[in-house]
Amino acid sequence: MAARPTVRAVRITADPSDDPNDYGFAHQVRVRFAETDAMGIVHHSRYLPMLEETRVAYLRHIGHPYSEVRAAGLDMSVLEVWCRYRKPLEFDDLVDVHVSVASVERASFQMTYLLTVDGEVRATGVTAHGCVTREGRPTRLPDWLREM
């Protein structure tokens, strides 16, 4: 049997702030009934699509929609995710998802998130991303992202 290649893991190092003023962008998401579980709260798995929706809205906001990234033959794969649940989200909550670029390396970057409802912290999170070609090979981040 051939040896499996060693994969260098990205380690999440960013520490998300609880202060909305520390974030450069916020996007509102309304909790849908289908996102709740049998206990009437948002299922833990449904937080990740909220982070993704906000990340895509942020890229659009700064003039680099994800469709532009893909047209350049790149993808920003999620390598790791970390989330701390502080207080449950519930059906029909209007969630402000704050996002900021926390760190940028040659081929990877990390983003921090703060989820609030009426200013109350509900969750924090971090995503680590790697830039890859369409063939899945790691590659350098675009200049505009490295310069952020």
Pairwise CA distance, residues 113 & 20, whole Å: 9
Considering only CA atoms, which of 140, 129, 148 is closest in space to residue 12?
129
Single out the catalytic residue among 19, 37, 75, 93: 37
The side-by-side arrangement of strands in the sheet containing 74-85 is 25-30, 94-104, 108-117, 120-133, 74-85
Whether 37 sits among the annotated catalytic residues: the reply is yes
Pairwise CA distance, residues 106 & 94, whole Å: 36
Task: List phi, psi (to 5°) of 146.
Answer: -65, -30
| Ramachandran bin of 74, using left for φ above 0, alpha for ψ from -120 to 50, beta for the remaining angles | beta
Residues noted as catalytic = 37
